[in-house]
Amino acid sequence: MTIKIQVDSSSEIGTYIKLTNTFCIVPVTLSKKAFIALRSELGKNFPVLLSNVLSSKCQGRLIACNSKGILLPPQTTPEEFASLKNSVPDSIVVKYSEENLNTLGNCICVNDFTALISPDLSKKTEELLSDTLGVEVFKTYVGQFSLVGSYCVLNNQKGLVHPNISCEEQDFLTELLQIPLRTATVNRGSETLGSGIITNDWHSFCGQKTTQPELQIIDTWLHGKV
């Protein structure tokens, strides 16, 4: 099911948190209230990992990850890299990106099988992403936007995209991803779904400002429940 939460009075929860089928990454400064909300829904045995990449609260914006691997910005310090690497299960691959940017989460939308990435990213990053996360990678826009991680959110079963997209573009992305997509908004009409929603195959969280109609669409589509 989908639970409404906020981080430091912000409904842009995807800016701060990453959620996969095997772990959740949160900033070390996450409030106790938000941590308890995550833990209560995910279960006491689900790994919730504290991360301090670039000494920032915005771990969701900085990191690209799925159940198989984590890609970190090149500016990540050795200490930050080691701290996160030592927290994840041994099967999870953790690598540095060589891209000359640090907001990987904004530029990459990924599940356990496929990644949509900004056309602005290099071929080297495309290959590193495929190797680290074990996915097929496609450079594309989501509608008019190159920041695909901001305007699309996926689990392994379904995905959501921003509403200003044509039927032809939606069909094209569905074909690439091989999962059903539908349009939605979050946080009272926001199109930046990647900032407002985090999801895996069993659980979703959205920002506290999300309206009941928005919540119903998100939850019913991603998990088949109201």
- Return the domain boundaries, the chain: 2-223
Q: What is the pLDDT of residue 67?
A: 98
Q: What is the pLDDT of residue 1?
A: 86
Quick: pLDDT tens for 94-118: 999 989 888 999 999 999 999 999 9
Q: What is the pLDDT of residue 213?
A: 98
Please give the average per-residue pLDDT across 61-85, as a whole number: 97
pLDDT level of residue 224 (50, 70, 90 thresholds): confident
pTM as predicted: 0.96
State how far the Cα of 40 lies from the Cα of 110, in Å rounded to an integer: 25
What homologous superfamily is domain 2-223 in, according to CATH? Answer: L-arginine/glycine Amidinotransferase; Chain A (3.75.10.10)
Query: At 100, which helix (H) or strand (E)?
Result: none
pLDDT level of residue 40 (50, 70, 90 thresholds): very high
Q: What is the pLDDT of residue 226?
A: 41
Question: 3-class secondary structure for the chain?
Answer: CEEEECECCECCHHHCCEECCCCEEEECCCCHHHHHHHHHHHCCCCCEEEECHHHCCCHHHHCEECCCEEEECCCCCHHHHHHHHCCCCCCCEEEECCCCCCCHHHHEEECCCEEEECCCCCHHHHHHHHHHHCCEEEECCECCECCHHHHEEECCCCEEECCCCCHHHHHHHHHHHCCCEEECCECCCECCHHHHEEECCCCEEEECCCCHHHHHHHHHHHHCCC
In this structure, are residues 13 and 194 in contact, taking their beta carbons and an 8 Å threshold? no
Q: What is the pLDDT of residue 185?
A: 98
Quick: pLDDT tens for 179-208: 999 999 999 999 999 999 999 999 999 999
pLDDT level of residue 156 (50, 70, 90 thresholds): very high
Please give the average per-residue pLDDT across 1-11, as a whole number: 95
Please give the average per-residue pLDDT across 82-98, as a whole number: 94
